[in-house]
Structure 1
Amino acid sequence: MAAPLGLTMGEPAGIGGDIALKAWMERGAASVPPFVLLDDPDRITALASTLGLDVPVAIVDEAGLDRVADLFATSLPVLPVPLPAPVTYGNPDPANGSAVIAAIDRAVGLATEGRLSGVVTNPIQKSALYACGFRWPGHTEYLAHLAGLPDDGTVMMLEGGGLRVVLATIHVAVKDVAKHLTSDAILHVARVTNAALKSDFGIETPRLAVAALNPHAGEGGAMGREEIEVIAPAVATLKADGINAAGPFPADTLFHAGARARYDAVVCMYHDQGLIPLKTLDFDTGVNITLGLPFVRTSPDHGTALSLAGTGQANASSLIAALHAASRIAARRQKSA
């Protein structure tokens, strides 16, 4: 029997608990793959009661992870990660930051050992973690650190609505994108993506489209020279390496239905260039997939939604999609191992 997925608590004051409970409630209708929640069982039991959800909690230890699939049919398996402080929904407490980090560490450790088939992470509130010494820009960089990789050693892929996008720059102000954009960054993202599309998605010969940075792909240099000096040389190198890459293409031509059918992923130059079309196509069920890690990691493509926490109004669709994506990738890796 396959190992279960591990779902981390995320920010306790956010919607992670709400959507974990809702995902379990949808286990039959949405064929949710079995997961164990790394969280405080008392907090989850109380939250289920507050939300009026009939969710029996089954506490498991690491030795009991092989029972998760059986337990999942009738109860929500929880691997205890105690919270040091009470939770006030909508109001993150830095005192609980150590537990948030501990849940991630434990899930990654178990996945690395093969005790979990993959890690699905609920959203974190980075400001609360910074107050307790967390020094990474976000989840992805911290996971790279745990895997012994540099902060930029992984690639963020967003998938939804029949579209996959990866980003050459991520959390960079728009005014600074051009100076952060390098041929090496594009090459790294494209190479990792090409390898992952083969190993994790079963695409024998991936087709990559590379977006331009400037309007009209720079109009021959009239609107910027990044296409000529940075992007086109990277595409030429990729082609020389045998990777099926094309571009740079004007971004306003890349995301309509016809273009989406021609490519397996689009290498975007900055955050909103990729995320605006993806979230327009599929706001509720987009998934964040980290490429290049030695273990499977996905997450819902949204934040902590503090204003919805503890209200029962949060939508679990993106989390359910993330669980399905992690399960598919884990199964493919297991099959090819």
Structure 2
Amino acid sequence: MSNARKPVIGITMGDAAGIGPEIIVKSLHDEGLYDQCKPIVIGDAKRLKQAARIVGLPLVIEAVERVSEGKYVYGTIDCLDLNLLPEDIPFGEISGRNGDAAFQYVKRAVELTLGGELEAICTAPLSKEALHMGGHLYPGHTEILAALSGTKDYAMLLSTSDLHVIHVTTHIGLLDAIRKITPERVYTTIRIAHETLLRMGVAEPKIGVCGINPHAGENGLFGYGEEEEKIAPAIRRTVSEGMNAAGPLPADTLFFRARRGDFDMVVAMYHDQGHGPVKVLGLEAGVNMTAGLPFVRTSVDHGTAFDIAGKGVADELSMKEAIRQAIRMIE
């Protein structure tokens, strides 16, 4: 791929006290990524230099003020340096200062993407607690990106090599999630799933939709008719519009069937229903995507791992896969 055709991907540094800086420098030590894209980190150059020393990689961290100033060559990591944090930040500690910085990295990345300077955003993990301490009361990256881009209809999507799961609700309590599941929200999530699969190159998407209760309610035996009230109308509507959606189906067998190849994507009703099966496959295997945004966004499928931050042992495979997935989505 010629240099001119490579997509420019912004990588936000995440919480500086977590493993984000380490997994970024480890990932960008892969020469193959530079054959496919032009990566630029939005963060603090000082922290990336420290991370490179910790993991023992001979990388040059180049601080730039504009995306156009990046060298985009293997061996040099270009960093759009916001210079928000001092050098002596301890690893593994929750801080409102770090939470605010993580938010500012994302905000700048969204501005650059909407302005046409970046073609995708790949995010390193942030701490929700630190984010809140820093004055930004969002449940997580998904909601931040939607708010900053003015996106109304969006959904969290977890992706592995053989399982794709999209969520009707995410970071809220289970009782709140059930209240928020409505036919309109389920319909919107199925539609977003269908459109995302088309973008991923699936010509005729097959979507399996989970129930809420065990055995998808088993015709009213379990629960209070939530499947028929909240989910079935949405499925009928999507089918009438030409989408291939089946359900509501028992979640315990649906994930098995999807991994077997019966479905291209599973629609999960709440956070743990969708996250559990994906994370059983391994944290390093998963990529988190936000479907429905006006740009491509991917992320690692794990947290800040404060307990191992600064030790140089964090696994970068999910970050590398998130960058690769962003490239595939752009293409």
User: TM-score over 0.5 for the alignment?
Assistant: yes
What is the Cα deviation at residue 9 of structure 1? 1.0
Shift in alpha-carbon separation, 1:273–1:110, aligned structure 2, 3 A: same
Equivalent residue for 1:146?
148
Name the SS for the 2:219 alignment partner.
helix
Equivalent residue for 1:84?
85
Name the SS for the 1:92 alignment partner.
coil
Shift in alpha-carbon separation, 1:53–1:233, aligned structure 2, 3 A: same
Distance in 2 (CA, whole Å) between partners of 1:63 and 1:171 is 33
Name the SS for the 1:321 alignment partner.
helix
Listed one character per residue, the Cα deviations across residues 72-119 of structure 1 (whole Å, up to 9, x for unaligned) are x12111111112343110013222333222211111111112211200
Listed one character per residue, the Cα deviations across residues 195-242 of structure 1 (whole Å, up to 9, x for unaligned) are 1221x2122221111111111221210112112222112111111111
One-letter amino acid of the structure 1 residue matched with residue 201 of structure 2: G
Name the SS for the 2:117 alignment partner.
coil
Equivalent residue for 1:250?
250
Name the SS for the 2:203 alignment partner.
coil
What is the Cα deviation at residue 29 of structure 1? 8.7
Distance in 2 (CA, whole Å) between partners of 1:279 and 1:161 is 13
Equivalent residue for 2:41?
37
Among candidates 8, 14, 20, match of residue 18 of structure 2? 14
Worse overlay, 309-318 or 212-221? 212-221
Gaps in structure 2 of 5+ consecutive residues: none
Equivalent residue for 1:221?
220
Aligned residue pairs total: 325
**Aligned pair 1:94/2:102, yes or no?**
no
What is the Cα deviation at residue 145 of structure 1? 1.0
**Would the aligned equivalents of 1:35 and 1:68 in 2 still touch at CA under 8 Å?**
no
Name the SS for the 2:255 alignment partner.
coil
**Would the aligned equivalents of 2:166 and 2:267 in 1 still touch at CA under 8 Å?**
yes
One-letter amino acid of the structure 1 residue matched with residue 46 of structure 2: D
Distance in 2 (CA, whole Å) between partners of 1:324 and 1:193 is 20
**Aligned pair 1:134/2:136, yes or no?**
yes
What is the Cα deviation at residue 132 of structure 1? 2.5
Equivalent residue for 2:197?
197
Equivalent residue for 1:186?
186
**Would the aligned equivalents of 1:161 and 1:278 in 2 still touch at CA under 8 Å?**
no
What TM-score comes out, normalization by structure 1 length?
0.90
What is the Cα deviation at residue 38 of structure 1? 1.3
Worse overlay, 283-292 or 52-61? 52-61
Listed one character per residue, the Cα deviations across residues 139-179 of structure 1 (whole Å, up to 9, x for unaligned) are 111111111124xx211110014000011121232344332
Distance in 1 (CA, whole Å) between partners of 2:58 and 2:106 is 27
**Aligned pair 1:266/2:266, yes or no?**
yes
Distance in 1 (CA, whole Å) between partners of 2:9 and 2:178 is 39
Equivalent residue for 2:159?
159
**Would the aligned equivalents of 2:44 and 2:81 in 1 still touch at CA under 8 Å?**
yes
**Would the aligned equivalents of 1:87 and 1:93 in 2 still touch at CA under 8 Å?**
no
Distance in 2 (CA, whole Å) between partners of 1:4 and 1:175 is 41
Equivalent residue for 1:335?
none
Among candidates 62, 65, 68, match of residue 61 of structure 1? 65
Equivalent residue for 1:334?
none
Equivalent residue for 1:297?
297
Worse overlay, 104-113 or 315-324? 104-113
Shift in alpha-carbon separation, 1:115–1:258, aligned structure 2, 3 A: closer
Distance in 1 (CA, whole Å) between partners of 2:258 and 2:39 is 37
What is the Cα deviation at residue 32 of structure 1? 6.9
Shift in alpha-carbon separation, 1:260–1:182, aligned structure 2, 3 A: farther
What is the Cα deviation at residue 55 of structure 1? 1.5
**Would the aligned equivalents of 2:64 and 2:78 in 1 still touch at CA under 8 Å?**
yes
**Would the aligned equivalents of 2:17 and 2:306 in 1 still touch at CA under 8 Å?**
yes
**Aligned pair 1:209/2:191, yes or no?**
no
Listed one character per residue, the Cα deviations across residues 21-53 of structure 1 (whole Å, up to 9, x for unaligned) are 110123349977431111211221122223322
**Aligned pair 1:311/2:314, yes or no?**
no
Shift in alpha-carbon separation, 1:195–1:42, aligned structure 2, 3 A: same
What is the Cα deviation at residue 299 of structure 1? 0.4
Distance in 2 (CA, whole Å) between partners of 1:68 and 1:155 is 34
Distance in 1 (CA, whole Å) between partners of 2:177 and 2:111 is 35
**Would the aligned equivalents of 1:12 and 1:92 in 2 still touch at CA under 8 Å?**
no
Distance in 2 (CA, whole Å) between partners of 1:40 and 1:258 is 41
One-letter amino acid of the structure 1 residue matched with residue 276 of structure 2: I
Equivalent residue for 2:9?
5
One-letter amino acid of the structure 1 residue matched with residue 229 of structure 2: E
